[in-house]
């Protein structure tokens, strides 16, 4: 599958004080990207360019060289989306069972902790995503089913609405990215990383009993935090789509598709939880 991402030539000077400053600035941007894309490239290698993974150089009869070729299957964006669909179906299936069966809240909390651990391991060991991503989807789905049941008991009928809205927003973000209505730069990625880290820090702090001004159990708080969840999730979806696009252009092998799908699935889960909060708070 071809990609409309066109890498720009690196015109950064490599010598002198100005070159050093620009090189540090470029590396700072690369640090923001390294959350996913650079890690994928480092862990899985690439199939593009001379000396890349599984690459051979061919020559014409006249002795001139041909572009390098590789026998390693590259990552394909549509295949990544297919794997996101598989993870989503797993979560929906297991979540549907825990929604209708008497699964306790305590067991759901254990599943949340297990899912968190699986997410950390998968993030730092991308090659295990082929096995751990489906397990994560099942464990997370079980917890989401119980959470959804709790919301449904207070606001009946919001769960199907949240599921449909999650799918609609996912498709909308994908269309906006593919049509370049939103362009994902390194600055965009950096801001998304900071916003995600800040939200994650607040959630961890509240789990340990810390309180923040304006954070409580009111409907207004649910709605406000729901919108924060949704906005951060949408930003992460844009970043993940860009990650997949860059990986496809760089020739990252297909072994990385499960890791890319796992990253996108995390944003989908956050998007769904945010919509649950908004709908629950409104009712």
Question: pLDDT tens-digit profile of 100-144?
Answer: 998 899 999 999 999 999 999 998 899 999 999 999 999 999 999
CB atoms within 10 A of CB 183: 9
**Range(s) of the domain holding residue 179:** 77-282
Residue 266 lies in a domain: yes
| DSSP sequence for 156-168 | TTHHHHHHHHHHH
Residue 2 lies in a domain: no
Confidence of residue 52 (pLDDT cuts 50, 70, 90): low
Residue 83 lies in a domain: yes
Question: Is the pLDDT reported for residue 66 higher than 90?
Answer: no
Residue 89 lies in a domain: yes
Residue 82 lies in a domain: yes
Confidence at residue 252, expressed as pLDDT on a 0 to 100 scale: 86
Residue 27 lies in a domain: no
Confidence at residue 25, expressed as pLDDT on a 0 to 100 scale: 43
Confidence of residue 6 (pLDDT cuts 50, 70, 90): very low
- Residue of 118, 124, 117, 83 whose CA lies nearest to 260: 83
Residue 20 lies in a domain: no
Which ranges of 179-209 would DSSP assign to H, the alpha helix?
186-207
Spell 255-278 as b/e; 16+ CB within 10 A means b. Answer: bbbbbbbbbbbbbbbbbbbbbbbb
User: What percent of the chain stands above pLDDT 70?
Assistant: 70
Question: Is the pLDDT reported for residue 63 higher than 60?
Answer: no
Number of domains in the chain: 1
Residue 7 lies in a domain: no
């Amino acid at each position: 599958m071809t990609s409309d991402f066109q890498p720009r030539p690196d015109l950064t000077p490599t010598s002198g004080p100005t070159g050093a400053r620009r090189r540090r600035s470029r590396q700072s941007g690369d640090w923001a990207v390294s959350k996913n894309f650079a890690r994928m490239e480092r862990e899985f290698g690439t199939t593009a360019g001379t000396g890349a993974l599984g690459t051979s150089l061919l020559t014409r009869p006249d002795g001139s060289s041909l572009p390098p070729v590789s026998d390693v299957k590259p990552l394909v964006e549509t295949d990544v989306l297919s794997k996101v669909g598989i993870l989503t179906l797993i979560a929906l299936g297991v979540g549907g069972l825990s929604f209708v069966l008497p699964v306790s809240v305590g067991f759901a909390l254990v599943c949340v902790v297990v899912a968190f651990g699986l997410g950390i391991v998968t993030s730092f060991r991308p090659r295990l995503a082929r096995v751990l991503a489906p397990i994560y989807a099942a464990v997370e789905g079980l917890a989401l089913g119980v959470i959804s049941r709790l919301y449904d008991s207070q606001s009946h009928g919001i769960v199907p609405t949240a599921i449909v809205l999650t799918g609609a927003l996912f498709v909308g973000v994908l269309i906006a990215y593919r049509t370049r209505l939103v362009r994902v730069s390194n600055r965009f990625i950096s801001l998304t990383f900071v916003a995600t880290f800040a939200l994650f820090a607040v959630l961890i702090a509240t789990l340990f009993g810390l309180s923040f001004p304006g954070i409580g159990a009111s409907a207004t708080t649910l709605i406000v935090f729901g919108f924060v969840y949704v906005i951060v999730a949408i930003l992460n979806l844009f970043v993940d789509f860009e990650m997949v696009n860059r990986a496809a252009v760089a020739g990252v092998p297909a072994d990385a598709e499960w890791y890319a799908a796992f990253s996108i699935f995390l944003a989908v889960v956050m998007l769904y939880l945010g919509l649950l909060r908004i709908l629950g708070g409104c009712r």
